[in-house]
């Protein structure tokens, strides 16, 4: 689930903190990177289990509705369908998933609980779905998929809450996380175990090793890489180059040398995307020119290979 694009974002965050926190050791930086990557996976696990939150909330509202002098039968029917339906039962059947999700700090965020209540209130008011639709697995899956897509994936409020809950969750990586959650809802299948549908934290061991290796290479070779990069600052005052731009080019050079199987065109595009998110438009043009010249020369010197 945590792909290399997300890992690069996390390495950039940790690298920036490493240089601005004098007491941070390399081992602490590596541990921080692991925690940062875990943060995105926690968000993924949490959002995949939203039907369970609505089940708990519906259970509370059923008691309130039943206590009224004149309960609304349609409202009660919908609440009961939200409390227990094939998708909820399916997710509850995987206790490992339930326990892992409940262990995340996100699960206990009161702001998210408040958001769920607001979303459910809107849903009950709009009544876009009947209780009968939730009786089937396909109907319930469609309901939760639409609910997530309209009320969560595009919600600025959700972004704000998640970023506030975890310092390593940013608006640069959340769209990627959200896309994997969408794939989870699209792929819900009662014939498959939940654990088989959930994406692992890393698709492969090489992806798991990518972040720590990149971080260590960027730290260990900082002086040599920056000295080489600065030679291409024709017409630019080195002191005017932002720290983030230096870090992006430092990481790009480290990646090109440490991971020769990654095409240099891919590497350049990845760091230009990061420049779009974390730097300025002028930096994008500047970094593109520097990396193109740098990689061309490094290829001629035999220090890197690839396209």
Distance of alpha carbon 279 from alpha carbon 177, whole angstroms? 22
Distance of alpha carbon 131 from alpha carbon 186, whole angstroms? 21
Write out pLDDT tens, residues 60-96.
999 999 999 899 898 899 999 999 999 999 999 999 9
Last residue of a domain, one of 165, 197, 229: 197
Distance of alpha carbon 173 from alpha carbon 2, whole angstroms? 10
CA-nearest of 14, 194, 3, 179 to 87 is 194
**Which pTM value belongs to this model?**
0.88
Instruction: Clarify whether residues 145 and 230 are in a common domain.
Output: no
Instruction: Clarify whether residues 187 and 42 are in a common domain.
Output: yes
Tell me how long the chain is.
Answer: 307
Instruction: Clarify whether residues 190 and 251 are in a common domain.
Output: no
Write out pLDDT tens, residues 175-232.
999 999 999 999 999 999 998 999 999 999 999 999 999 999 999 999 999 999 999 9
- 296 assigned to some structural domain: yes
> In which domain, by residue range, is 186 found?
4-197
User: What average pLDDT does the segment 40-58 reach?
Assistant: 95
Instruction: Clarify whether residues 13 and 125 are in a common domain.
Output: yes
Question: Chain-centre distance of CA 24, in angstroms?
Answer: 25
- CB of 197 within 8 A of CB of 189? yes
Percent of the chain whose pLDDT exceeds 90: 76
Instruction: Clarify whether residues 240 and 186 are in a common domain.
Output: no
Which CATH number fits the domain that encloses residue 256? 1.10.940.10
Instruction: Clarify whether residues 191 and 285 are in a common domain.
Output: no
Write out pLDDT tens, residues 112-136.
999 999 999 888 887 667 888 899 9
Number of domains in the chain: 2
């Amino acid at each position: 689930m945590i792909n290399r694009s997300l890992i690069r974002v996390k390495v950039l965050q940790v690298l920036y903190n490493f240089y601005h926190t004098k007491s941070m050791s390399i081992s602490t930086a590596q541990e921080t990177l692991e925690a940062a990557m875990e943060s995105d996976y926690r968000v993924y696990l949490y959002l995949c289990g939203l039907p369970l939150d609505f089940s708990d909330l519906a259970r509370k509202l059923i008691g309130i509705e039943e206590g009224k002098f004149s309960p609304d039968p349609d409202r009660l029917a919908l609440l009961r369908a939200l409390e227990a339906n094939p998708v909820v039962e399916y997710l509850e059947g995987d206790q490992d998933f339930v326990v892992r999700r409940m262990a995340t700090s996100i699960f206990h965020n009161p702001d998210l609980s408040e958001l769920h209540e607001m979303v459910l209130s809107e849903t009950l008011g709009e009544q876009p779905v009947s209780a009968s639709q939730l009786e089937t697995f396909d109907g319930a899956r469609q309901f939760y998929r639409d609910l997530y897509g309209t009320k969560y994936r595009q919600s600025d409020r959700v972004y704000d809450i998640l970023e506030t809950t975890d310092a390593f969750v940013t608006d640069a990586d959340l769209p990627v996380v959200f896309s994997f959650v969408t794939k989870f809802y699209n792929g819900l299948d009662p014939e498959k175990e939940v654990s088989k549908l959930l994406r692992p934290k890393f698709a492969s061991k090489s992806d798991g090793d990518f972040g720590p290796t990149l971080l260590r290479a960027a730290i260990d070779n900082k002086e040599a890489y920056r000295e080489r990069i600065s030679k291409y600052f024709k017409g630019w005052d080195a002191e005017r180059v932002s720290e983030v731009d230096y870090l992006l080019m430092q990481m790009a050079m480290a990646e090109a040398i440490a991971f020769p199987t990654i095409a240099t065109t891919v590497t350049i595009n990845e760091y230009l995307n990061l420049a779009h998110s974390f730097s300025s438009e002028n930096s994008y043009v500047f970094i593109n020119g520097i990396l193109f010249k740098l990689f061309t020369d490094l290829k001629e010197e035999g220090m890197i290979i690839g396209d």
